[in-house]
A and B are shown apart, each in its own frame.
Chain A
């Protein structure tokens, strides 16, 4: 066994980078195996620097891990804090997508049966992004709502980011599903414009009332209109008889969507105020 140990002075010279190679290598080899000389290096160290690095280490350990969804968003080029905000959206959770997928599955199975059930699918489809928007934001359902109110990010921007993410993802989901419906051609996409229009309308309305209520009102309005509107041309295929799925209905919904978007932009500041109800 060696009885060689580094002197405190030698370690200090080494720490300052002033030691020649031969002796520096000796110290380096020795320190690996000698706790006493390691303690000497600790005494010759810059405490502040070590504390600073340690803070970084503990910060990195305490940082919550990214969920797979957040990781995906970051990989797609979304900035990290935005990814976290979007990832915390209640209606972007796995449970939400599972529920949507399941009900969409049932609707699609039904839609393969008859034209009447295709109609049911078309009426049902716009409700998915609508409910998603309702559950994207607001004091009742958002676990990060309190944080959001206190955050320097404007509530309006948060709302747009989240609603946008929800609408895009649910429309993609429903869109893929609607492609599988046979024999209805472009009509399978007839829900698309109404879906955007009702989602935007609900958003616009939620500058006055709580998002869940806004979605309820708009959703009820949509179903009533779609099912209860006057029927055209008796005897024609059922999809051609419902105004919402005819060309004039589609145009009307496109206009409604634009109007809603204008209202949202005009009332942007109202989204920053917390709704008490």
Chain B
């Protein structure tokens, strides 16, 4: 494939002129994006829709990439925000039935930990609720507001849980 030798940045610059460029970006980045989003949303249809929206956004506004950092990180930023938008747009009924599952699904679709033994252990020792907040803000790079939408909790709760998580981690790692 011709696009294989081009860098992500070059492909991104060519996206509007060259249909093959978007295809190459898709082949490189859709697979891991599907996996990573699937760990945060258990509905495959929503994930598919989010993937579609994400690459449409890449095609529409490749210029939104500032030229700093990995293109993959930029694409992840689009993907996770689209996922939040989708979850927010869900019918109220579904959101309500989800309400009781929030703690479970937070644990389920939010993961945390690092290869480093102590830290991983410390993170694992956090309650699912606290870990979910650390996951969303630290690892997924979301703002407090976005994290609150993703997890279905008020922004104030995100902040207090984050503070409690930090305190607990500090204690564990000290």
Residues on A lying within 8 angstroms of B by beta carbon are 4, 14-15, 17, 20-26, 28-29, 31-33, 35, 38-39, 41-42, 44-46, 49-50, 52-54, 56-57, 60-61
Secondary structure type dominating chain B contacts = helix
The interface on chain B, measured as residues whose beta carbon lies within 8 A of the other chain's beta carbons, has a size of 36
Contact B70 A25 (CB under 8 A): no
Contact A33 B31 (CB under 8 A): no
User: What residues on B are CB-neighbors of A21 within 8 Å?
Assistant: 111-113, 123-124, 131
Q: Which of B44, B55, B56, B139 contacts A28 (CB 8 A)?
A: B139
A32 to B139 Cα, complex, angstroms: 12
Interface: B72 (CB within 8 A): yes
A189 to B60 Cα, complex, angstroms: 49
Find residues 110-143 in chain B having any chain A CB closer than 8 Å to their own CB: 111-115, 120, 123-124, 131, 135, 139
Segment at the interface with A among B32-40, B95-103, B159-167 = B32-40
Contact B38 A50 (CB under 8 A): no
Please give me the residue from chain A that is nearest to B54 by CB atom: A57
Please give me the residue from chain A that is nearest to B73 by CB atom: A32
Secondary structure type dominating chain A contacts = helix
Interface: B169 (CB within 8 A): no
Smallest Cβ distance from B117 to chain A, in angstroms? 9
- What 0/1 readout, one digit per residue, does chain B (9-49) give for beta carbons within 8 Å of chain A? 00000000000001100111111101110110000100010
Interface: B65 (CB within 8 A): no
User: What residues on A are CB-neighbors of B115 within 8 Å?
Assistant: 4, 22-23, 26
Contact A61:B59 (CB < 8 A) given known A14-B35, A21-B124, A31-B72: yes
Q: Which of A25, A31, A52, A57 contacts B111 (CB 8 A)?
A: A25
Interface: B51 (CB within 8 A): yes
Please give me the residue from chain B that is nearest to A55 by CB atom: B52
Contact A26 B39 (CB under 8 A): no
A25 to B73 Cα, complex, angstroms: 14
User: What residues on A are CB-neighbors of B39 within 8 Å?
Assistant: 17, 24
Contact A33 B112 (CB under 8 A): no
Residues on B lying within 8 angstroms of A by beta carbon are 22-23, 26-32, 34-36, 38-39, 44, 48, 51-52, 55-56, 59, 70, 72-73, 76, 111-115, 120, 123-124, 131, 135, 139
Contact B113 A44 (CB under 8 A): no
CB contacts between A and B, total, < 8 Å: 98
User: Lowest 6 A-B CB distances belong to which pairs?
Assistant: A22-B113, A21-B111, A22-B120, A45-B31, A41-B32, A42-B31
User: What residues on A are CB-neighbors of B29 within 8 Å?
Assistant: 38
Please give me the residue from chain A that is nearest to B33 by CB atom: A41
Smallest Cβ distance from A203 to chain B, in angstroms? 42
Contact B72 A33 (CB under 8 A): yes
User: What residues on A are CB-neighbors of B55 within 8 Å?
Assistant: 57
Smallest Cβ distance from B169 to chain A, in angstroms? 14
Please give me the residue from chain B that is nearest to A14 by CB atom: B35
A50 to B76 Cα, complex, angstroms: 17
Contact A41 B35 (CB under 8 A): yes
User: What residues on A are CB-neighbors of B34 within 8 Å?
Assistant: 45-46, 49-50, 53
Contact B72 A25 (CB under 8 A): no
A15 to B31 Cα, complex, angstroms: 9
A176 to B115 Cα, complex, angstroms: 73
A49 to B52 Cα, complex, angstroms: 12
User: What residues on A are CB-neighbors of B72 within 8 Å?
Assistant: 31-33, 38
User: What residues on B are CB-neighbors of A14 within 8 Å?
Assistant: 35
A81 to B124 Cα, complex, angstroms: 53
Please give me the residue from chain A that is nearest to B60 by CB atom: A61
Contact A22 B52 (CB under 8 A): no
